[in-house]
Structure 1
Amino acid sequence: MKKFLALQCRGLNTRMISQLRKGNAKVVWKIDWLGRKTYDLIKLMVEWKEMGVDFWSISEGIGTSAKMGRLWYMLVLSLRKIKEILVEWTLAGMEAARQEAEYAVAQEG
């Protein structure tokens, strides 16, 4: 049921984004609700800036109508990307440690 609702909301979001016009603003509670991939979020912001559409994230307090808001948006996305990389490295390190432990146990037995 949750997956269905998420897909339905994603479809509504896509349709709403396609209807944005100059002078409109897209408001979300959190940047994550707009998209998952950092590249896609940056691309959206650039497209909307060219279209004259503002973006507001309520929980992060970011609005792209001013230069400082656009800078803050990019900083948040950069930190998000760093977090993704750190999670990836951590998971890879945990997997390597697990495999090393399995190898050590196999060598003892």
Structure 2
Amino acid sequence: MGLGPCPSRVFGYTRNFHFGTSSSCPSYSELQNQVTALKSQLDEQNKRNEERDKRLDAIMNFFSQNYQGQLPPELTMFNPAPVSDQGSVPTNTTSSGHEENHM
């Protein structure tokens, strides 16, 4: 059928491959066990990294809130974001938006 040349004719490769078991090749189940063990190790390491990152964030937030003065430029990523007061109502205004004089 005119679908183009056959790969074996183009590359001249007609040998059949046999994927049998060999003493030098690990079996599929051995490879699966290795993958499972490596995934477990990776999950444990990721968990430790997340815990470490949380501790570092807490330390940096403490320093940035209690440090008098400007943080060095290399630590600007740790400056806490200003807390938004959107949605809060000032204590000295009424529901009409006019300031109330309490004196």
TM range (shorter): 0.3 to 0.5
Normalising by structure 1, we get a TM-score of: 0.37
Determine which structure has the larger strand proportion and give its number.
1
Determine which structure has the larger helix proportion and give its number.
1
Q: Which has the higher contact order (CA 8 A, sep 6+)?
A: 1
Normalising by structure 2, we get a TM-score of: 0.39
